[in-house]
Amino acid sequence: MKPRNTDRKPFSESKVKGLAVEVWNNDINKALRKFKKKVQDDGILQELRDREHYVKPSAKRAKAKAAGIARWKKKQSKDGINETRLY
């Protein structure tokens, strides 16, 4: 009789690192949709694009400021407040 190898542990969920999706009833399309949604929510692809090239800190600040201005203008137009100067 062979001795059992006791150093192997059964698969557990805690050992899974990163994003994981379970496939139920061989429905791969549904699992793929869930996985894509998790990847998008986690921002993995956006971070990859951001790290692809170096961006100077001044360019980051300028981009963030422009995004803030765009958000403010969008909020103003959504609220129906048109700030027109009559001078």
Q: Give me the residue spans of the domains in the chain.
A: 18-79
The answer to pTM > 0.95 is: no
Q: pLDDT tier at 80 (50, 70, 90 boundaries)?
A: confident
Predicted local distance difference test score (pLDDT) of residue 4:
59
Q: What is the DSSP string of 10-52?
A: ---GGG--S------TT-HHHHHHHHHHHHHHHTHHHHHHHHH
| Residue range 10-53, pLDDT digits in tens | 555 556 577 888 999 999 999 999 999 999 999 999 999 989 99
